[in-house]
Amino acid sequence: DQQVKQNSPSLSVQEGRISILNCDYTNSMFDYFLWYKKYPAEGPTFLISISSIKDKNEDGRFTVFLNKSAKHLSLHIVPSQPGDSAVYFCAASAMDSSYKLIFGSGTRLLVRP
């Protein structure tokens, strides 16, 4: 049973436009959410996180939104750049097991020049 789901395996966006990556979760105990970016032949790189006491966190071109009632989070990238082309993973953890992250299966983003 997948507790963290990324239902879109891929997304293609024009350079300069907004990229929206989505993630759903089922465990209501999750209270800390993260996004990672992964290039081929490299490890995942931490991008941005949000705790459940917030509904939005922004860092430069990256914004994460959390909708707890819908158990949904999204990552917005504005404006998208070709260098953003990568696989994006969302991950979640619960305070009582804060060491463990549960990852989604990833979404491959392609930003077209």
- Choose one: 22-30, 39-47, 55-63, 65-73; the region binding another protein (CB under 8 A): 39-47
Residue 26 within binding range of another protein, rule CB under 8 A: no
Q: What is the CA radius of gyration of the chain?
A: 13
Kindly state the smallest distance separating residue 58's Cβ from another protein, in Å.
Answer: 16
Strand bridging mode 102-103 / 86-94: antiparallel
| Residue 112 Cβ vs another protein, minimum distance, rounded to whole Å | 23
- In a 13 Å sphere around the CA of 63, the CA atoms on its Cβ side amount to 12
Distance CA 4, CA 27 (A): 8
Give the residues lining the site for another protein (CB under 8 A). Answer: 4, 6, 9, 34, 36, 41-46, 49, 89, 91, 98-101, 103-106
